[in-house]
Amino acid sequence: MRFWRQNLRFLAALQLLPALESGEEILVGGQAVLEGVMMRSPHAWGIAVRKPSGEVVTHSEPLDRPSEKHKWMGWPVVRGVMTLGHAMSLGFKALRFSANAVLDEVQADEPDGKKLEFSGWLAAMNVVFSVAFFILMYKVVPLLATTELKKINPLFGEQIVFNLVDGLIRIGLFLLFVWAVSLWKDIRRVYEYHGAEHKTVFAFENGDPLNAASVQKYTTFHPRCGTSFLMTVMIISMLVYMAFPAQTFWARFGIRIALLPVIAGVSYEIIRFAAKHRGSLFALMTAPGLWLQRITTQPPDDSQVECAIVALDEAMALEKQRGGELVIA
């Protein structure tokens, strides 16, 4: 029973993965996982997870930057798509590590002594389900709803109105999902670890000592958060879809799927620019993402902050061994 509860937590966190991580390959960032935090530096990543017993388990690995292997991966817009894909892959790996770390202690309760873990096939099934849920919830449902509204009133068939309503429904569904899962205690703890990750990154960027007292003074709202990225994607998508007139359901659906990489790449550039130019118009576009962090980040306790600090220490220790150049925003 505890295994399947953990699997449900894993699935919910997987669906929230883009909102829980910050993807930027030359800066320090991180991601909340189950009962822990993953931190990433330009050339390494580290993770710290607290088991039910209170023990903190850690792991770190070298990290290759895609743009260092292939220069074209560092081009504007393209780098956003590549960085997002790289961050999602790493985020999934970290999330799976955290799930198995927590399960490692509950297997003692199994009567047959069977080892509990998220095997490759189970993790793959969760990914398939998560992708299907994403397409259904944020592409099919808004499109179907707006198409039905068009039948009721021709006004909804106008290009601008159709895509505006479609986008507002998409945003509404996303906000509803983020809020609804926050009512679940297990996911609320993930949001608290998300807050711990943001506070720790702020402290590091400002050169403060990495201890709980120093870290706790910072806010949980960070401009490079994946939550801001997702909200920017949804706002930009409404504008982009308006430029591609289509009349049938399947034509509109195809456009939405085909343009996902372009929208993600453009949104990445906007987030990157807004983080460096806080007073710009683009910064105003990312403001809704910062507001939403009132849900996706929650005030952490000192033990959660300590996990984030340990994860960052793990990443930075390996970063220094590799002689990486660290850039602080």
Tokens 């997870």, residue located: 49
Rounded to whole angstroms, the Cα distance separating 167 from 142 reads: 7
What's the whole-model pTM score? 0.85
Mean pLDDT of the chain: 83
Of the chain, the percentage scoring pLDDT greater than 70 comes to: 83
Rounded to whole angstroms, the Cα distance separating 28 from 41 reads: 5
Is 70 exceeded by the pLDDT of residue 126?
yes
Is 90 exceeded by the pLDDT of residue 11?
no
Find, among 41, 81, 87, 324, the residue nearest to 204 by Cα: 41
- In sequence order, the 6+-apart residues with CB closer than 8 A to the CB of 163 are 238, 241, 242
Question: Does 10 or 242 have the greater pLDDT score?
Answer: 242
Q: Which one-letter DSSP state was computed for residue 21?
A: B
Find, among 138, 97, 103, the residue nearest to 117 by Cα: 103
Average pLDDT over residues 297-310: 94
Q: Which two tokens stand for residue 176?
A: 């509803």
Rounded to whole angstroms, the Cα distance separating 233 from 236 reads: 5
The confidence score (pLDDT) of residue 217 equals 94
Q: Name the pLDDT band for 169 (thresholds 50, 70, 90).
A: very high
Find, among 214, 187, 188, the residue nearest to 199 by Cα: 214
Rounded to whole angstroms, the Cα distance separating 45 from 21 reads: 13
Rounded to whole angstroms, the Cα distance separating 160 from 84 reads: 29
Rounded to whole angstroms, the Cα distance separating 4 from 305 reads: 28
pLDDT tens for each residue of 43-52: 889 999 998 8
Rounded to 5 degrees, what are φ and ψ at 296?
Answer: -80, -10
Q: Which two tokens stand for residue 281?
A: 């118009």
Question: Does 146 or 232 have the greater pLDDT score?
Answer: 146
Return the minimum-mean-pLDDT range out of 53-57, 84-88, 134-138, 145-149.
84-88
Q: Is the dihedral of CA 195, 200, 206, 209 positive or negative?
A: positive
SS3 content of the chain, % helix, strand, coil (to 5): 70, 10, 25
Burial of 326 (0-12, 13-18, 19+ CB in 10 A): middle
The confidence score (pLDDT) of residue 329 equals 35
Average pLDDT over residues 159-168: 93
Q: Which two tokens stand for residue 126?
A: 């969760």
The confidence score (pLDDT) of residue 281 equals 66
